[in-house]
Amino acid sequence: MFENIQMMRMARALTAHAADRHVATARNIANADTPGYRATDLGEFEESFAQGTALRVSDPRHLPAPDWTPGAARLAETATPMSPNGNSVSLEEELVRAADVKRQHDLSLAVYRSGLDLMRSGLGRN
């Protein structure tokens, strides 16, 4: 049932993106002292998930519904300077990135919660 509601699809996609980004950040922190390790990160959610597929509309006033499907969510090297041992992990930047990932998780939970509240209101169950 939830997979047919666009808001729930978007919340699930945002949660999956935040989880993947959390894994990349944790991997970077774990390899902070590994010689030659290059830090990676995922792109922004808006860039990495395709929106808006072509839908057939019967009225020009209709809006196309977005399709929240994974797009180019790929790891890319960060643009941090290299240390003398060839490592590009900056713990300060990784901690900032971890805080951003937490914000993304909180946002996805808020969207999911709002969707559930809307469904409860529609059913008359507050």
Q: What pLDDT score was predicted for residue 75?
A: 67
Q: How far apart are CA 20 and CA 63, in angstroms?
A: 31
Q: What pLDDT score was predicted for residue 50?
A: 58
Domain boundaries, the chain: 2-123
Strands (DSSP E) contained in the chain are 40-42, 49-50, 69-70, 75-77
Q: What pLDDT score was predicted for residue 116?
A: 85
- Token look-up 């059913």 returns 123
Q: What pLDDT score was predicted for residue 124?
A: 82
Q: What pLDDT score was predicted for residue 73?
A: 54
Cα distances from 66 to residues 5, 32, 40, 123, in angstroms, run 11, 39, 28, 25
Q: What pLDDT score was predicted for residue 115?
A: 84
Residue numbers of the chain with a pLDDT score lower than 50: 51-53, 68-72
